[in-house]
Amino acid sequence: MDDPVERLKDGFHKFKTEVYDKKPELFEPLKAGQAPKYVVFACSDSRVCPSVTLGLQPGEAFTVRNIAAMVPAYDKTKYTGIGSAIEYAVCALKVEVLVVIGHSCCGGIRALLSLQDGAPDNFHFVENWVKIGFPAKIKVKKDHASVPFDDQCSILEKEAVNLSLENLKTYPFVKEGLANGTLKLVGGHYNFVSGEFHPWH
């Protein structure tokens, strides 16, 4: 098995010689600071890499990744890691577009759909986190009760994005930006099985 540290060193060397050293016009301005246009909320899944799949260059997107790309509703005492990222991106960096991207075969979404009341808590952190998407789960279970589980998962991948977009509207600074036209919300779904990306707003 390859040494994991050497793999990282080799990867950086390739990036340094083939990208960083050859594109000073891209990296030089970043030394003075960042001015990204987008905030991208994406899943932590290793098969999902928004910068690669969307062709975003360094400095273009402020990226927030977590299980199932969840964005919780505004709360000053809970989920402050997400809240601080949104606050900094909107209030300090003055981003223009907030993008939430779900994806195919999402384990977090599958975990959410599989949750049973009173069942043993095998993955405490994961299960507690994905419960943010419970309203989307309720909607899918109600509207698509006769659909097979795997198909419900696919539908929920998109409904969870819509819920996160609605939750973003509960942040005062996001609400203000939407009202005055300085912010836009965009949802998206990346299917890495079929190689498709579908955005909506």
Three-state secondary-structure class, residue 55: coil
In whole angstroms, give the CA distance from residue 140 to residue 27: 44
Instruction: Pick the closest to residue 60 from 33, 41, 36, 83 (CA basis).
Output: 36
- Is residue 83 helix, strand or coil? helix
Q: How many CB atoms lie within 10 A of CB 100?
A: 25
Task: Flag whether 45 is marked binding.
Answer: yes
DSSP element (H, E) containing 184: strand 184-191
106 in a labelled binding site: yes
First to last CA, the chain: 45
**Pairing state between β 61-66 and 97-103:** unpaired
Beta bridge mates, 98: 39, 185
Catalytic residue numbers, as ranges: 43, 45, 47, 103, 106
Return the axis-axis angle of helices 107-114 and 134-143, rounded to nearest 10°: 70
Give me 185's structure tokens.
């919300």
Cα–Cα distance measured from residue 198 to residue 88, given in angstroms and rounded to the nearest whole number: 27
Tell me the binding residues for Zn(2+): 43, 45, 103, 106
Tell me the binding residues: 43, 45, 103, 106
